[in-house]
Amino acid sequence: MASCHDTIVILDFGSQYTQLIARRIRETRVHSVILPVSASLHMIREHRPKGIILSGGPASVTSVGRPRWAKEILQEDVPILGICYGMQLVAHYMGGKVGQAKRREFGRAELQILDGSDLFKGLEKKGAFSVWMSHGDWIEKLPTGFIPIARTENSPIAAMKSANHQHRFFCLQFHPEVAHTVHGKHILKNFVQGICGAKATWTMGSFLKNSIADIRHQVGRDKVICGLSGGVDSMVAAAMTHRAIGKQLTCVFIDNGVMRKDEVKQLRKVFGSQHFQYRMVDASARFLKALGRTSDPEKKRKIIGRQFIEVFDHEAKKIGKVRYLVQGTLYPDVIESVSQIGPSATIKTHHNVGGLPAKMKLKLIEPLRELFKDEVRGLGKELGLPDDLVLRHPFPGPGLAIRVLGAVTPERLAILRDADVIFIDALQTHGLYRKTWQAFAVLLPIRTVGVMGDRRTYEHVIGLRAVTSVDGMTADWAQLPHEFLGKVSNRIINEVKGVNRVVYDISSKPPSTIEWE
């Protein structure tokens, strides 16, 4: 179905970065759609693309196992940008030769521009700049009519174009979509706006309008349920759905007993300020009983997941026949589980309310599944949600259960809550909260010796974690001022009974993760 915007089609060959290409194009305010590698020529044509991007992918054009695709698009009169594997496909099918690179390139390389027209317009005078490479194959022989337009030390053909303008092929061996490629966004903008002539009409407002129309169309007159976690994703998904279908939506918040200090009280206020119908269910006793003295984090996650499904199912039955479940799944959640569109490799299984749709025979509505966290925040602002909510740090579905390491008892939860609120309040007071992507306290499953008022103590240890990140997929520890950390540590040890030591986590992700579990 063609959109009212000029559209760029991205054909997904399974790269981890395909959504990042879409995101960069959104940043230039141009509309794009991602189609699976299996899309037919007819499907691609239906979008009336102003340009087509062939993504990277794990396959090699030199091996037999490469995915089948509608290679006839190479004959269409539309500009094509091949990225990495996409470049090799163009070279292969246009009569060039692809082979194994003498030296594989992974990571940073310095790009030197040989032709500053079209794709590199505006960059020709910048000198060499860093680009991100990730390839084992390269172009051994250019297809007839193609010329190299950039090189790196290891790749004499790091970019190429067809000199024959009728075809308008542009290809990059490196990834312009990743943040490490210095002028990547500029290059993509040159392609979509300059070469393809696509108009910059896409905004969060237009995304919202289209998504609302899609939800309305999908749902018809059926009833819809949405689980609110208190975080920005489910709230934005609920507010959007409410705009689409009003009273057909009921939201449910379940207090699982592992929320932060006073959080349920604050959420009651936030939900009350919204227009959707909602229920708040206090199931804390039941969750804590089920957790018992379980200390294994994966088991804790499973117990919480199971309890959630039972309580949610029970609440849903009170609403009547519900057909749809709204979830605030984001793109990083999808890519860390499995690529839904192309054949990219599975990294890890992420779960929030896994199992719920199947048990309740519900169909999913996931209006945020192609967005990144900061884009969802933009959408929240567009929806008029309060800043406090929109700019809140992420909070994991299993809550404090994975931040109390070891058994989750009411006493240990109370210690963690008191320490955590001191840390978060201090970050806010010192203007550091919004400078960190996520910050929290964890309670360690050990005791250490201390001395308080001439007496030996043997008490709990609190770990403080604060990270900077763009999407949670990678993160660095936040370099908070030492003086600030000292003050927080003092306050925690003085004010939280049972704690005699505070430590600060200085590990990045990878190799560590953000949560301790």
Q: Does residue 509 bind ligand XMP (CB under 6 A)?
A: yes
For residue 451, what is the enclosing H or E element? strand 438-452
| Euclidean distance between CA atoms 111 and 130, whole angstroms | 6
With CB under 6 A as the contact rule, which of the stretches 102-110, 395-403, 413-421, 446-454 interacts with ligand XMP?
Answer: 395-403
Pick left, alpha or beta for residue 168 (phi over 0 → left; psi -120 to 50 → alpha; otherwise beta): left
Q: In what order do the strands lie in the sheet with 51-54?
A: 31-36, 7-12, 51-54, 80-83, 169-172, 159-162, 146-151, 97-113, 129-141
Q: Does residue 394 bind ligand XMP (CB under 6 A)?
A: yes
List the helix and strand counts (H, then E) for the chain: 15, 18
Among 397, 400, 465, 478, binds ligand XMP (CB under 6 A): 397
Q: Does residue 86 bind ligand XMP (CB under 6 A)?
A: no
CB 407 within 8 A of CB 295: yes
Nearer to ligand XMP, 51 or 472 (CB): 472
CB 330 within 8 A of CB 373: yes
Calculate the alpha carbon distances from 2 to 6, 19, 47, 48, 148 in Å.
Answer: 9, 20, 4, 6, 34
Q: Does residue 230 bind ligand XMP (CB under 6 A)?
A: no
**String marking each residue 333-362 x if it binds ligand XMP according to CB under 6 A:** ------------------xx----------
With CB under 6 A as the contact rule, which of the stretches 73-81, 404-412, 476-484, 506-514 interacts with ligand XMP?
Answer: 506-514
Can 375 be counted among the known catalytic residues? Answer: no
Q: Does residue 488 bind ligand XMP (CB under 6 A)?
A: no
Nearer to ligand XMP, 300 or 501 (CB): 300
Output the six-digit token pair for 52.
């087509």
Q: Does residue 380 bind ligand XMP (CB under 6 A)?
A: no
Q: Which of residues 438-467 bind ligand XMP (CB under 6 A)?
A: 438
Nearest distance from residue 473's CB to ligand XMP, in Å? 8
Can 460 be counted among the known catalytic residues? Answer: no
Nearest distance from residue 438's CB to ligand XMP, in Å? 5
Q: In what order do the strands lie in the sheet with 249-255?
A: 277-282, 249-255, 223-228, 322-326, 363-365
Q: Does residue 367 bind ligand XMP (CB under 6 A)?
A: no
Amino acid at 212: I
Nearer to ligand XMP, 408 or 514 (CB): 514
Can 84 be counted among the known catalytic residues? Answer: yes
Count of other CB atoms within 10 angstroms of residue 384? 9
Nearest distance from residue 150's CB to ligand XMP, in Å? 36
Q: Which residues are catalytic?
A: 84, 175, 177
By CB under 6 A, name the binding residues for ligand XMP: 351-352, 394, 396-398, 438, 472, 509, 513-515
